Structure 1
Amino acid sequence: MSNALVNKYNIPGPRYTSYPTVPYWDNTSFSLSQWKTSLHKAFSSSNSEEGISLYIHLPFCESLCTFCGCNKRITKQHGVESPYINAVLKEWQLYLKLFDEKPIIKALHLGGGTPTFFSPQNLKTLINGILKHAIIAENYEFSFEGHPNNTTKEHLQALYDVGFRRVSYGVQDYNDTVQKAIHRIQPFENVKRVTEQARAIGYTSVSHDIIFGLPFQSLEHVKETILKTKSLLPDRLAFYSYAHVPWVKGNGQRGFKDSDVPSGELKRKQYEIGKQLLAEVGYEEIGMDHFALKSDTLYQSMISGDLHRNFMGYSDSKTMAMIGLGVSAISDSWYGFAQNVKSIEDYYKLLDADTIPVYRGHILNEEDLIVRQHILNLMCRFKTSWTPTYLYFDALPDVLVKLEEMEHDGLLLRTKNSVEVTPKGQPFVRNICMAFDVLLQRKQPHTQLFSMTV
């Protein structure tokens, strides 16, 4: 990878888990009533065939990881578990009232925070409370994020018993110095234990999350982590760039200096060596920052053209409607986005008033919907086209002009009706998507909103 290209294109940019991106949502004209209408439209048109997805945000952690930008509440008091579960189930009941029939759940994911902060029994209570009022799709996928230090065999068995078959473990890096800097001390033995336990119980997909570009992380550190990961051979991997956003309130990234974070050039080398080592044992690159063995459904969905991307990242399971439950959770009806309040106290207060706890969102207009599809195509398939003609939009000629220099640099190929990202350009797919992001182009931010693209 050319250092000149890295230096040229390493600029702040979105990860495009949504379009429009959250900073460009039109909150002024958004209302809870509009959100309900858009969700009902999505549910009515898709539930009988593809079902819906659920994301449940479980925000509690016993300690603060300083690399994390997620919404969380640090506490060692486990008495918070039951009140929070009751609140999530209350929110689910408010959504159920919007639907004319029982929802079919195709996908369900527990994220956080630390979902395994909760006891196995409380997690079963939560899931059973959700499923009691729903139908499970025939080809469903239930997954959760587990912390290797506190995920027990009992956690794995309890969630397996209620339908979970996929688990993702946050590894990040195995080096002691890096782990101390990000306040995430977890020995390789813990990851090995929970990986083997999941497989012994019957989980069909085990995933590891690995981050490059962490403070004090060297090229050798990444190689060591990848080599240890290869020995466990998880079915899929998220191998992604650390998003250094210390200006975001409360994310804990003030625990080290900006100068402690690797340069863009070093981060690119870390990625390239990791990719090479993973390819040697049969991992295939999926979209951006993800890898999977050919036996995993994520790879199979890429081959079939069904790969999807949303707020949970890449998925082999697309539904038009995705409902987010819990504090800060984001929902997607395809026609609109809605985000819940971030404070647990505000969340409880709104639910006590029988109000869905949404505080901001965006209803997509015609241009938004078209641009969203192009960005999804690029992120999932590395190509897009405006044939059929309904994918043409008025600002497209300006977009193509912005792509000229990237084409000159060998990052993409343009035809009269399409754009295709080259292998050389795949590491810069976020930059290519930015050219299609007409809202970003029309209103460049005055302060840094996004992490660096490399």
Structure 2
Amino acid sequence: MQQANSFIQKYNVPGPRYTSYPTVPYWDELSFSLDAWKQTLKRSFDESNRSEGISLYIHLPFCESLCTFCGCHKKVTKRHEVEQPYIQAVLKEWELYCALLQDTPVIKEIHLGGGTPTFFSPEHLTQLLQGILAKAEIAPQHEFSFEGHPNNTSKAHLQALYDLGFRRVSYGVQDYNETVQKAIHRIQPYENVQRVTQWARDIGYSSISHDLVFGLPFQSLDDVLHTIDQTNQLLPDRLAFYSYAHVPWIKGNGQRGFKDANVPKDAMKRQCYEEGKKKLLAQGYHEIGMDHFALSSDPMHQAFQQGQLHRNFMGYTASKTQLMIGLGVSSISDSWYSFAQNEKNLDDYYARLEQNEIPVYRGHVLSVEDLTIRQHILNLMCTFQTTWDEPEQYFAELPEVLAQLVEMQQDGLLHMTEQSIHVTEQGQPFVRNICMAFDLHLKRKKPENRIFSMTI
């Protein structure tokens, strides 16, 4: 334990979560253009649509109240008349993409995120999805999923989306302690989570996921363990067990209402994960990547075992596609060769669509070096190993990267050979730090201000 604590003190530094590479703060926006995005989008679509299909991420930004732990893009309102105009805008955006693609998209994956997707009525969600699917084919092996708020997800929501092909639902639980819930402005009793979990099972959902967060304000180790005991009673197929990213300096993220001193840190925060992990493993869950757990029967565990796990802006996924199109305000798209983000302001998003423009406002076209390093970081995040035994896996600054990792090898966090790196079990909590050694953008230009959460 003493050695583990010394490693935490040594390696707990601000760092990216690597849902992309390069990370968003290092995108080269000056050399990016909408035309460049369209070209790489079309290239990726032509290369992969018929062989593997595409993914859609649809951002539904509205929430009735503000959860103060959340760093996602959201718009707080109780006015449900915003639903219909937003759906029309997203469908207009999809029409613009379909016209550009010039072939019928084969949809392998859809994820509804937010915000609160279940802010929208079942009828409006049906209208949205029917409009999307009317212009597409559905891949034989597809995964449609959505994020549900336990307090406002109804049986009708679950049934409507099930009828449209959705088989996975993820519920944001966070923590069951009332003091913690009050601090993050997310009051939801265990009974609510129990009810919506059972509804999903009764309707026929094959993968039910709960999102838990450790390191929340006022949260103790006992709170985390109690939450996991409650979770184990419900036995969801999959769990995300995230570290709370405390980034109150980022404008508009809503992390207010508590002080920095109220947030668990360093060794105490890591203990929450390690002790929670013991309970989850004892219950029959398998640790997946950096922050997920799954039962043997869940597709995510099978993908991890087969080396097919993928990571993107939605986190870990068992369903990999080369092209992911993000629809809706603030959504990020990924063509593998470039990233593109939509307007973050709702009025700007609507205005661009009224001009018949794809509402992208910034992005990044990946260089050959970016693509090589992106694959290494993906390998490390998804399989805890990477190799460079083929010429295309090598890049000019690799020797300097490996030299930087020698100390981590001496600390027992990884094992290096002439052509590979394997992260040890002891090193898995520090995989973000290992990836940072590969991050040439970060190395060449250290951030002047804090832009990342702590790695532990």
Inter-partner Cα distance in structure 2 for 1:22 and 1:433 = 15
Structure 2 counterpart of 1:368: 370
Q: How is 1:400-411 mapped onto 2 (pairs within 5 angstroms)?
A: 400-411=402-413
Structure 1 counterpart of 2:144: 142
Shift of 1:255: 1.4
Give 1:263's match in structure 2, choosing from 245, 262, 265.
265
Question: Is the counterpart of residue 306 in structure 1 residue 308 in structure 2?
Answer: yes
Give 1:285's match in structure 2, choosing from 272, 284, 287.
287
Shift of 1:387: 1.3
Q: Which 4+ runs in 1 deviate beyond 4 A?
A: none
Secondary structure at 2:65's aligned position in 1? coil
> For each residue in 1:27-86, what CA deviation from the matched residue of structure 2 results, as whole angstroms up to 9, or x when unmatched?
000000000000000000000110000000000000000000000000000000000000
Choose 248-257 or 44-53, whichever is displaced more. 248-257
Matching residue's letter, 2:252 = G
Inter-partner Cα distance in structure 1 for 2:217 and 2:369 = 40
Shift of 1:178: 0.2
Structure 1 counterpart of 2:443: 441
Shift of 1:305: 1.1
Question: Is the counterpart of residue 116 in structure 1 residue 128 in structure 2?
Answer: no
Structure 2 counterpart of 1:207: 209
Question: Is the counterpart of residue 53 in structure 1 residue 23 in structure 2?
Answer: no
Question: Is the counterpart of residue 4 in structure 1 residue 17 in structure 2?
Answer: no
Inter-partner Cα distance in structure 2 for 1:26 and 1:110 = 28
Give 2:276's match in structure 1, choosing from 274, 277, 283.
274
Q: How is 1:157-196 mapped onto 2 (pairs within 5 angstroms)?
A: 157-196=159-198
Structure 1 counterpart of 2:220: 218
Shift of 1:100: 2.3
Aligned length: 454
Q: How is 1:91-110 mapped onto 2 (pairs within 5 angstroms)?
A: 91-110=93-112
Question: Is the counterpart of residue 88 in structure 1 residue 96 in structure 2?
Answer: no
Identity across matched positions, percent: 67
Structure 1 counterpart of 2:395: 393
Q: RMSD over aligned Cα, in angstroms?
A: 0.5
Secondary structure at 1:199's aligned position in 2? helix
- Gaps of at least 5 residues in structure 1 are none
TM-score w.r.t. length of structure 1: 1.00
Inter-partner Cα distance in structure 2 for 1:186 and 1:342 = 29
Structure 1 counterpart of 2:17: 15
Matching residue's letter, 1:200 = D
Matching residue's letter, 1:402 = Q
Structure 2 counterpart of 1:44: 46
Shift of 1:254: 2.2
Secondary structure at 1:48's aligned position in 2? helix
Secondary structure at 2:51's aligned position in 1? coil
Inter-partner Cα distance in structure 1 for 2:256 and 2:125 = 32
Inter-partner Cα distance in structure 2 for 1:36 and 1:220 = 51
Give 1:451's match in structure 2, choosing from 446, 450, 453.
453
Question: Is the counterpart of residue 338 in structure 1 residue 345 in structure 2?
Answer: no
Secondary structure at 2:67's aligned position in 1? coil
> For each residue in 1:324-358, what CA deviation from the matched residue of structure 2 results, as whole angstroms up to 9, or x when unmatched?
00000000000000000101100000000000000
Matching residue's letter, 2:247 = V
Inter-partner Cα distance in structure 2 for 1:21 and 1:284 = 28
> For each residue in 1:238-263, what CA deviation from the matched residue of structure 2 results, as whole angstroms up to 9, or x when unmatched?
00100000011111112111000002
Matching residue's letter, 1:297 = P
Inter-partner Cα distance in structure 2 for 1:263 and 1:47 = 44
Inter-partner Cα distance in structure 1 for 2:75 and 2:303 = 35
Secondary structure at 1:345's aligned position in 2? helix
Shift of 1:102: 0.2
Shift of 1:379: 0.2
> For each residue in 1:177-197, what CA deviation from the matched residue of structure 2 results, as whole angstroms up to 9, or x when unmatched?
000000000000000000000
> For each residue in 1:274-319, what CA deviation from the matched residue of structure 2 results, as whole angstroms up to 9, or x when unmatched?
1000000110010010000010000000111110000000011111
Inter-partner Cα distance in structure 1 for 2:242 and 2:101 = 38
Secondary structure at 1:319's aligned position in 2? coil
